[in-house]
Amino acid sequence: MPKIEGFTPRDWTVHPSNIPADYKSAPLRAPTKPLVIFPQSLTELTGPIFGQDAVGKLDHDLTKNAVESGEPHGERIIVTGTVRDEDSNPIPDILLEVWQPNAAGRYDHADDQHDAPLDPNFLGAGRCVTDQEGRYRFITIKPGAYPWGNHYNAWRPSHIHFSLFGPSILTRLVTQMYFPGDPLLELDPIFKAVPAAARNLLVANLSIEISEPEWALGYEFNIHLRGRNATPMES
């Protein structure tokens, strides 16, 4: 059997603590005992492999994959980036799933009772697979902020949820992407639960090169699954 190369241990200083101080619902679902570190074996170092045939034709375009009677409301945007491993090598065939609220700040989910309109032409969910250069790209509507009840007059900044299935269980990542210049970031306990030095890793960069004239602004959000520049975990 060939030698199994392990991963460098995670740098937990870039990730949020198990129980962030001002995130009130976290203690109800956070671990209450220290993590148990298992040796890295074949089980931890392997995982499912996805190809381009794992996604549908419109899965990457959230402005088209749920259309019923017209275009969705809101600002169309392009989001793209490169997924890299702990050595900064691009990783192909990574399944990347996204979900978000609509332009009014409401999720298409029965539990979301925010007093904002649903968009019949926008589901707010999609997925894509990275190409051979580790690049991904999807089209969506810029999400709106929404109230979330954590504290008095609490509003979540605009964000998109990301879920990535890397080449092994140790490269699994669930995180959030934020937008540059959002004044709500400094008021948000979830964003501020990430150590200050790593918060910029969760904020996309506006890119004129990615933007398409007369059509959509573009944002670049690069993701590192592990290593020195690991993208922080966020749920």
60 to 126, 128, 210: CA distances (angstroms): 6, 5, 16
4 inside domain: no
217 inside domain: yes
Mean pLDDT estimate for the chain: 90
| 34-44 average pLDDT score | 78
88 inside domain: yes
In terms of Cα–Cα distance, which of 48, 135, 128, 45 is closest to 92?
A: 135
19 inside domain: no
Burial 26-54 (b: 16+ CB within 10 A, else e): beeeeeeeeeeeeeeeeebbeeeebeeee
With a cut of 70, say whether residue 3 has pLDDT above it. no
5 inside domain: no
Number of structural domains the chain divides into: 1
pTM surpassing 0.85?
A: yes
pLDDT at residue 235, rounded to an integer: 66
pLDDT per position as a tens digit, 59-99: 999 999 999 999 999 999 999 999 999 899 999 999 999 99
With a cut of 50, say whether residue 1 has pLDDT above it. no
In terms of Cα–Cα distance, which of 50, 31, 69, 16 is closest to 199?
A: 16
Q: What percentage of the chain exceeds 90 in pLDDT?
A: 70
pLDDT per position as a tens digit, 125-174: 999 999 999 999 999 999 999 999 999 999 999 999 999 988 888 889 99
pLDDT per position as a tens digit, 99-135: 999 999 999 999 999 999 999 999 999 999 999 999 9
68 inside domain: yes
127 inside domain: yes
pLDDT per position as a tens digit, 192-204: 999 999 999 999 9
Band (5; pLDDT cuts 50, 70, 90): low
Contact by Cβ (8 Å): 74, 216? no
Of residues 215 and 22, more confidently modeled: 215
Catalytic annotation, residues: 107, 146, 156, 159, 161
Tell me the CATH number at 162: 2.60.130.10
DSSP 185: G
Domain with 194, as residue range(s), is 43-224
CA distance 196 to 202: 11
CA distance 122 to 3: 47
119 inside domain: yes
pLDDT at residue 42, rounded to an integer: 78
